[in-house]
A = this chain, B = another copy of it.
Amino acid sequence: MRKISESTVRRLCGYLRLLEEFQRAGKTTVSSDELALRGHTTPAQVRKDLSFFGSFGKRGLGYDVCDLTERLRDIMGLDKNYRVALIGAGKIGSALVQYRGFSDRGFDIVSVYDNDETKVGTSWGDVAVRHVSALESDLAVAPIQIAIIATPASEAQATLDRLVQLGIKAVLNFAPTQLDHPADVTVQNVNMAVELETLSYALRSCG
């Protein structure tokens, strides 16, 4: 299939969220116009995004909310659950473990790793913090599909290398550094400092 741009994929996430909202509100059909308005984009963009995957609407009527929700879930691979490991039991890690938004969407943080002996063994909610040295043996027994790196920047690359070695293909990186990785491994970066700096740039013109 033709390569889909990342911006399209991100917009699809947005449509899905809106559709769920519409569903809760009892709406049964929705037009590209409505999706565009609520999703901060254009009707043409909505239709083009969807058209990469098929044609899900009815001309003159719009899209069936339930059907399109289903289809998008399927397209995005959100019909299954994912086992997620968190590496780094610091401030950010702690916030992530407790965040409902993940488990609500089928991303279950099943284990937490750290190299700080004082943290190892303690319980975070219903997951125990384990020593990173157990990573290899643990994953051999109970594989995971996604890893979250929330270590200091200095350890992030080494951590990623180990994860790659273990065959992990999807990583969410919170360490504020660009990581090298093979092309078949997807690394999504969340860098809050960059977001703030983008705001700083935007403020240049203001007082």
| Chain A residues with a Cβ under 8 A of chain B | 6, 9-10, 12-14, 16-17, 38-40, 75-78, 82, 84, 91-92, 94-96, 98-99, 101-102, 105, 107, 145-146, 169-172, 176-178, 180, 186, 188, 190-204, 206
Contacts and interface: CB of A to CB of B under 8 A. Distances in A.
Given A188-B199, A193-B102, A197-B76, A17 B172 contact: no
B198 A6 contact: yes
28 contacts: A13-B191, A13-B194, A13-B198, A14-B178, A17-B176, A39-B178, A40-B178, A40-B180, A76-B201, A77-B200, A77-B201, A91-B94, A91-B95, A94-B95, A102-B192, A102-B193, A105-B197, A145-B203, A146-B196, A169-B203, A170-B200, A172-B192, A172-B195, A186-B198, A186-B203, A188-B195, A190-B192, A190-B195
B190 A190 contact: yes
A140 B206 CA distance: 18
A171 B199 CA distance: 7
Contacts of A38: 178
Contacts of A92: 95, 99
Contacts of A13: 191, 193-194, 197-198
A189 B152 CA distance: 23
Given A77-B200, A190-B192, 13 more contacts: A6-B198, A12-B201, A14-B194, A77-B201, A78-B197, A91-B94, A91-B95, A91-B98, A99-B192, A105-B193, A146-B199, A170-B203, A188-B199
Contacts of A180: 40
